[in-house]
């Protein structure tokens, strides 16, 4: 089957066309600045150069139209006609408590996603625009919603409740949901396959360390806990997000700086994390370079970052009562052996040992622990689009 994967943001749209039988990516691309002047479409057919087109896109329907034209273009297209697209898989950020798995999209599902808008006001409305635009242009093609929160719906109550009056959970569903679920699910399953062990009887800790970052504890194939909460702001120190902090800091900063709660939240989401701590960059390559040149702030930032990841891993080993494998994925986790080593060095007492040569590899599936390490440590590049394609194909078959 040929599956079109759509990941729709408020002013951008990422897509991939995947052949679900061979699991090859036939083409992929990105529309940027939708609804803003200076729109750009980048289209990359497999095995060919990327084609960049400067074209204004007044809305997402126009963007989807351009994507479909690119896919069927006589020179740079990869299919002869739109009839070849068997299904569309949409990445949806928040499924609240309504969705614990991917689902075929119909009117009721659209309504239910809409009801989760409050929980992800920036993302869900944009995801819905993607769904509606595709529906308008390809009304007969089945569509599937794959939720970032779904994999974490198996968390037990003790893991997802906050220590606040229960009525807020009852009335507003204020609780921890977790994100990056498609990645945590894909990477943890792949880990069991690589190790040749039974996924249903393993304890795995997945460290998804990208610009956004989260950790999950997976036991017997089910998520037990994860570091992001009601929103993606909780948990690890990220590229620009603060992660965990004392909530009293919000009022304190409002008063001291004379700013509103929304302004503080904007700082916590966009100006904090390693970017805010270092005052330099949210990109770990810049921070490692600055550190090697003697920049003290970069050094402190990287040690604060690694310490937080190690603390989470330690707490998840307690929550799981042991661990068989620790896995690194996403931009930083896949590409940087130095950061992986700094994190793993906290677990010498557990008998975790990294093979320096293997840990120096980048972006490939590999076991990076030594033969005699008590816990296996791996790198598994995440592939959220492929995971969405698999779920979509399974549902529309």
Contact 79, 72 (CB under 8 A): yes
In the complex, the smallest distance separating the C-beta of residue 85 from ligand ADP, rounded to whole angstroms, is 25
* Residue 130, Cβ density class (10 Å: 0-12 exposed, 13-18 middle, ≥19 buried): buried
Q: Which of the 8 DSSP states describes residue 99?
A: -
Looking only at the bridges linking them, the beta strands covering 213-219 and 222-226 are antiparallel
Using CB under 6 A as the binding rule, the residues of this chain from 285 to 304 that contact ligand ADP are: 285
- Give the range of 138-146, 210-218, 219-227, 309-317 binding ligand ADP by CB under 6 A: 210-218
Using CB under 6 A as the binding rule, the residues of this chain from 218 to 257 that contact ligand ADP are: 239
Residue 272 binds ligand ADP, judged by CB under 6 A: no
Using CB under 6 A as the binding rule, the residues of this chain from 70 to 129 that contact ligand ADP are: none
Contact 26, 45 (CB under 8 A): yes
Residue 48 binds ligand ADP, judged by CB under 6 A: no
Residue 331 binds ligand ADP, judged by CB under 6 A: yes
Backbone angles phi, psi at 92, to 5 degrees: -115, 130
In the complex, the smallest distance separating the C-beta of residue 384 from ligand ADP, rounded to whole angstroms, is 9
Tokens describing residue 39: 């729109």
- Give the range of 29-37, 41-49, 204-212, 302-310 binding ligand ADP by CB under 6 A: 204-212
In the complex, the smallest distance separating the C-beta of residue 198 from ligand ADP, rounded to whole angstroms, is 29
Contact 264, 251 (CB under 8 A): no
Contact 119, 125 (CB under 8 A): no
Residue in 158, 119, 169, 127 with CA at minimum distance from that of residue 5: 127
204 versus 207: smaller Cβ distance to ligand ADP: 207
- Give the range of 55-63, 143-151, 215-223, 281-289 binding ligand ADP by CB under 6 A: 281-289
Q: Concatenated DSSP letters for 278-339?
A: HSS-S-HHHHHHHHHTT-HHHHHHHHHHHHHHHHHHHHHHHHHTS-SEEEEEHHHHHH-HHH
In the complex, the smallest distance separating the C-beta of residue 200 from ligand ADP, rounded to whole angstroms, is 28
Q: Give dist(CA 26, CA 67) in Å, integer.
A: 13
Q: Is 148 a catalytic residue?
A: yes
- Give the range of 109-117, 171-179, 245-253, 278-286 binding ligand ADP by CB under 6 A: 278-286
Choose which of 233, 330, 367, 386 interacts with ligand ADP (CB under 6 A). 330
Q: Give dist(CA 15, CA 36) in Å, integer.
A: 19
Residue 181 binds ligand ADP, judged by CB under 6 A: no
Contact 334, 214 (CB under 8 A): no
Q: Give dist(CA 293, CA 389) in Å, integer.
A: 44
Tokens describing residue 12: 């951008």
Residue 275 binds ligand ADP, judged by CB under 6 A: no
Residue 154 binds ligand ADP, judged by CB under 6 A: no
Choose which of 211, 220, 269, 315 interacts with ligand ADP (CB under 6 A). 211
Binding mask 335-374 for ligand ADP (x = CB under 6 A): xx--------------------------------------
Q: How far is CA 37 from the centre of its chain?
A: 28
Choose which of 210, 243, 273, 276 interacts with ligand ADP (CB under 6 A). 210
In the complex, the smallest distance separating the C-beta of residue 12 from ligand ADP, rounded to whole angstroms, is 12
- Give the range of 187-195, 244-252, 325-333, 344-352 binding ligand ADP by CB under 6 A: 325-333
Quick one: angle between helices 296-320 and 337-344, nearest 10? 60
Determine the 3-state secondary structure of 140 from DSSP. Answer: coil
135 versus 361: smaller Cβ distance to ligand ADP: 361
Active site residues: 148
> What is the contact surface with ligand ADP in residues (CB under 6 A)?
210-212, 239, 282-285, 330-332, 335-336
């Amino acid at each position: 089957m040929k599956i079109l994967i759509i990941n729709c943001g408020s002013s951008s749209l990422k897509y991939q066309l995947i052949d679900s039988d061979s699991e090859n990516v036939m083409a992929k691309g990105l529309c940027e600045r939708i609804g803003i002047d200076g729109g750009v479409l980048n289209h990359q057919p497999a095995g060919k150069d990327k084609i960049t087109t400067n074209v204004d896109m007044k809305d997402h329907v126009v963007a989807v139209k351009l994507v479909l034209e690119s896919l069927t273009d006589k020179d740079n297209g990869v299919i002869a006609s739109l009839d070849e697209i068997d299904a569309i898989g949409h990445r949806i950020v928040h499924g609240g408590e309504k969705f614990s798995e991917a689902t075929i999209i119909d009117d009721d599902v659209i309504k239910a996603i809409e009801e989760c808008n409050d929980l992800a006001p920036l993302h869900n409305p944009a995801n819905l625009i993607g769904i509606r635009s595709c529906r308008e242009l390809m009304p007969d093609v089945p569509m599937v919603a794959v939720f970032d929160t779904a994999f974490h719906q198996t968390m037990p109550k003790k893991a997802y409740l906050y220590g606040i009056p229960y009525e807020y959970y009852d009335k507003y569903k204020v609780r921890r949901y977790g994100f990056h679920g498609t990645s945590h699910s894909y990477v943890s399953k792949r880990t069991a396959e690589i190790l040749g062990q039974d996924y249903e009887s393993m304890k795995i800790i997945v460290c998804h360390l990208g610009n956004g970052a989260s950790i999950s504890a997976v036991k017997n194939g089910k998520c037990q806990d994860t570091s992001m909460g009601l929103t993606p702001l909780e948990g690890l120190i990220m590229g620009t997000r603060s992660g965990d902090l004392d909530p009293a800091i919000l009022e304190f900063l409002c008063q001291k700086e004379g700013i509103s709660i929304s302004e503080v939240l904007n700082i916590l989401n966009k100006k904090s994390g390693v970017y805010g701590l270092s005052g330099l960059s949210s990109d770990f390559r810049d921070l490692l370079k600055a550190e090697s040149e003697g920049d003290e702030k970069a050094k402190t930032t990287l040690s604060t970052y690694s310490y937080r990841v190690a603390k989470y891993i330690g707490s998840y080993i307690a929550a799981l009562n042991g661990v068989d494998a620790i896995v690194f994925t996403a931009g930083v986790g896949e590409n940087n052996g130095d950061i992986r080593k700094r994190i793993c060095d906290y677990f010498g007492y557990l008998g975790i040992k990294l093979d320096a040569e293997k840990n120096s590899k980048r972006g490939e599936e590999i076991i990076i622990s030594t033969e005699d390490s008590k816990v296996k440590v791996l790198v598994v590049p995440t592939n959220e689009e492929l995971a969405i394609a698999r779920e979509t194909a399974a549902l529309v078959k």
